[in-house]
Amino acid sequence: MLRGHDRYCSKVDSNKIDKIDLYYAIKDASWPLINGEQDIALLSSHIRQEFDLAYSQIKDQMLDTRIDICGILKQEYARRIDSACAQIQWHKDYYESYPLDLDFCDTMIDINDDNEFSQYMKQELSLYCSEIFDRCWTMTHGG
């Protein structure tokens, strides 16, 4: 699967289209058989012109599709980053206005035990893990 992913990324990154596959996909019955990309340059001008037009259109479609998908993903991640930063700022403002007073605290709860309460709290806290939030926190507060 990783090798397939690498092949896909290298094709997408270079916008590489297999010209031989394209040639045979759009080939008219009157067009000659070719053995490699170098044969495309030897085609008559009207065939080469039609092929070049199809190649250009497909390349543009690939680029448009990639831009649309990337744009959607970028917007989604931008919303998540904005949300994480807004949450961090809200908590920062709140605790600056209402600082924690631990002077009267008798017991600090340690959830590193293996008791039922600790296990439950670890499970609950794990539900709210977010790599994006953690990275935003690290970038704004250094760790």
Q: What is the chain's mean pLDDT, rounded?
A: 81
Please report, as a single letter, which amino acid is at residue 5: H
d(CA 19, CA 131): 41
d(CA 52, CA 72): 30
d(CA 137, CA 9): 31
Q: What is the pLDDT of residues 27-64, one digit of tens each?
A: 888 999 988 889 999 999 999 999 899 888 887 777 66
d(CA 41, CA 101): 79
pLDDT for 4 equals 52
pTM of the full structure: 0.44
Q: Residue 101 phi/psi, 5° resolution?
A: -115, 105
